Amino acid sequence: MVNVFERKQSIAILGGGPGGYEAALAGAQLGAEVTLVERVGVGGSAVLTDVVPSKTLIATAEAANAIGDASDLGVQIFARGDHGRPVRPEVAVNLHAVNQRLLRLARQQSEDMKSQLTRAGVRIVQGEGRLDGPNRIIVSTGTTDFDQVDADTLVISVGASPRILDSAIPDGERILTWTQLYTLESIPEHLIVVGSGVTGAEFASAYRALGAEVTLISSRDQVLPGEDEDAARVIEDVFTRNGMNVMNKSRASSIVRDGDKVVATLTDGRVVEGSHCLMAVGSIPNTAGIGLEEAGVQLADSGHIRVNRVARTNLPSIYAAGDCSGFLPLASVASMQGRTAVYHAMGDAVNPTDLRNVTSNIFTQPEIATVGWTQRQIENGEVRGEIHKLPLVQNPRAKMMGIKDGFVKLFASSGSGAVIGGVIVAPKASELILPITIAIEHRLTVDDVAQAFAVYPSLSGSITDAARALHQVP
Ligand SMILES: Cc1cc2nc3c(=O)[nH]c(=O)nc-3n(C[C@H](O)[C@H](O)[C@H](O)COP(=O)(O)OP(=O)(O)OC[C@H]3O[C@@H](n4cnc5c(N)ncnc54)[C@H](O)[C@@H]3O)c2cc1C
């Protein structure tokens, strides 16, 4: 019997990126009254400035690379020059058109997501929000207008913004954060990228493929610090082979604009001059000044909101999802946390978020996909595991496709043979890693994986081959 006096549970969400969006959909699905407060656009930074634009740019970079690589497979592109002689045409990239396309895609994606929320019955309030205690969000909807949203549960999903260094203040024209790159009208003559983490490496890789001279300034021994070392080595080799100037163990002490140039001064006194500079030195959570501390929410020293594995803060009515929490800064993790928060708040079944099983990908060329325990953790003795690595040059399909770089690496638990991790460095590694993720999630052994038929010839055949090589003799 329906209880007509039963009040609907109410959820207010601050921030409409993947964390907030998924929380809103989950709440609507479970029958809550949901309000989502967003100051820029539904989809958040993920859709408007980060994931969607960067991966669309990278798709263009891949197309440019494919034209260059086609000649290895015997495809020749030429035009007839004087006296009918073949002339090798140059690949030209119209960055204005590329940027218009990716911004249009991002806007469209944001609109689609907004319609999806509206159809699901979510109320969207456009404006800048801040907490007023543990059950209220105050929204500034205009210069003098305010809205007040009261709810049983608050989900904070305000994301993060590019870190700005005092010694390298972006001007939006020559010194840029990744959110400002899409106003460029033409390929930079010489792009200096400061920071060789995932964002720096992805943009350095893409702009080099698009024809820019690129200098990558990295403070560590190797690009992509913290990632699988073999994978980082492959990427660094490819970068240098493609003509990128990779400066390891180099720290920029200042970046200044000088007319049409940017000048990067390193701590050891060396100077690098370029036409543009991309600052990719990390992000800071958007948690300052939105009433979190006043409401009693615990923050880490970094400003991230402390949450447990069901995304709950120290206050029972407040959850936090995505980049503003201390979890992995990935859109997929933000979405999972958003859903988990709402399921938990509404008493639905929840699986606490397990970061061990998160699959992540670096969209360089080739890509690096990773999941599960790492080789470093196995070698440090944190987990007992066996490692097998198969270079792709041994794979028949890779040979046919002219793939020269990359590998499949699989980790199996010593004793049980359960698959516990893997790394794939390959074109479209993001599409190849899923069988390893499924094996980890469902505790399959290397023998289970080896038993599955892989297509012959296929890149994924290297996964079953690596699994076979890890068979443990009883
Ligand atoms: C260049 C780049 C590329 C990336 N590529 C990938 C990728 O390929 N795959 C992947 O999984 N991840 C990727 N990421 C990471 C991904 O973008 C983030 O993990 C994801 O955006 C986090 O989602 P979120 O919901 O926490 O925050 P966001 O997407 O940042 O959304 C937060 C939202 O909150 C709003 N907001 C903030 N404060 C307020 C306020 N006070 N009032 C109202 N609204 C507010 C903001 O306007 C924003 O819309 C990339 C990141 C970068 C920088």
Q: Using one digit for the tens of pLDDT, what is the confidence trace for 55-80?
A: 999 999 999 999 988 888 999 887 88
DSSP structure class, residue 403: -
CA separation for the pair 464, 435 (Å, rounded): 10
Q: Report the pLDDT value the prediction gives residue 57, as an integer from 0 to 100.
A: 98
Question: DSSP strand E in 218-304: where?
Answer: 245-247, 252-258, 261-266, 271-274, 276-279, 283-285
Q: Identity (one letter) of the amino acid at 53? A: P
Question: Which two tokens mark 133?
Answer: 């205690």
- Strand partners of residue 156: 14, 320
Output the pLDDT for position 5: 57
- Give dist(CA 232, CA 328) in Å, integer: 19
Question: For residue 354, what pLDDT is reported?
Answer: 86
Ligand 1 contact via 285 beta carbon (within 6 Å): no
Nearest CA to ligand 1 atom 4: 51
**How many angstroms is it from 14 CA to the middle of ligand 1?**
13
Our answer on whether the CB atom of 128 is closer than 6 Å to any ligand 1 atom is yes
Name the β-bridge partners of 411.
387, 421
Q: What's residue 50's pLDDT?
A: 97
Q: Are strands 190-194 and 276-279 parallel, antiparallel or unpaired?
A: parallel
The alpha carbon of residue 437 and the mean position of all alpha carbons in its chain are separated, in whole angstroms, by: 17
Ligand 1 in reach of 195 Cβ (< 6 A): no
- For a mutational test of ligand 1's pocket, the pick from 130, 149, 323, i.e. the residue with the most ligand atoms closer than 8 A to its C-beta, is 323
Q: Which amino acid is at 45?
A: S
- Ligand 1, atom 30, lies closest to the CA of 159
Token output for 398: 């890779």
pTM beyond 0.85: yes
CA-CA-CA-CA dihedral for 296, 297, 300, 305, to nearest 10 = -170
Residue nearest to atom 27 of ligand 1 (CA): 159
Rounded Cα gap, residues 371 and 227, in angstroms = 11
Tokens at 337, concatenated: 């946390």
Both tokens of 5, joined, read: 């006096």
Q: Tell how far CA 351 is from the center of its chain.
A: 23
CA nearest 157: which of 339, 320, 10, 333? 320
As a residue count, the chain comes to 474
Of 209, 175, 210, nearest to 193 by C-alpha is 175
User: Residue 114 and residue 259: Cα distance in Å, rounded?
Assistant: 42
129 Cβ closer than 6 Å to some ligand 1 atom: yes
Q: How far is the CA of 323 from the centre of ligand 1 (A)?
A: 7
Distance 160 CA to ligand 1 centre (A): 6
pLDDT of residue 256: 97
Q: Which residue's C-alpha comes closest to atom 12 of ligand 1? A: 330
> Ligand 1 within 6 A of 322 CB?
yes
Q: What token pair was written down for 382?
A: 């944190």
Task: Quote the pLDDT of residue 71.
Answer: 86
Of all protein residues, the one whose alpha carbon is nearest to atom 1 of ligand 1 is: 50
Residue 369's alpha-carbon distances to 135, 363, 423, 426, 467, in angstroms, are 40, 9, 6, 8, 17
Q: Ligand 1 centre and the CA of 320: distance in Å?
A: 13
Listed as ranges, residues in the chain with pLDDT below 50 are 1-2
Cβ neighbours around 71 below 10 Å, total: 12
Task: Report the nearest atom of ligand 1 relative to the CA of 19.
Answer: 25
Q: Is the CB of 178 under 6 A from ligand 1?
A: yes
Q: Which amino acid is at 201?
A: A
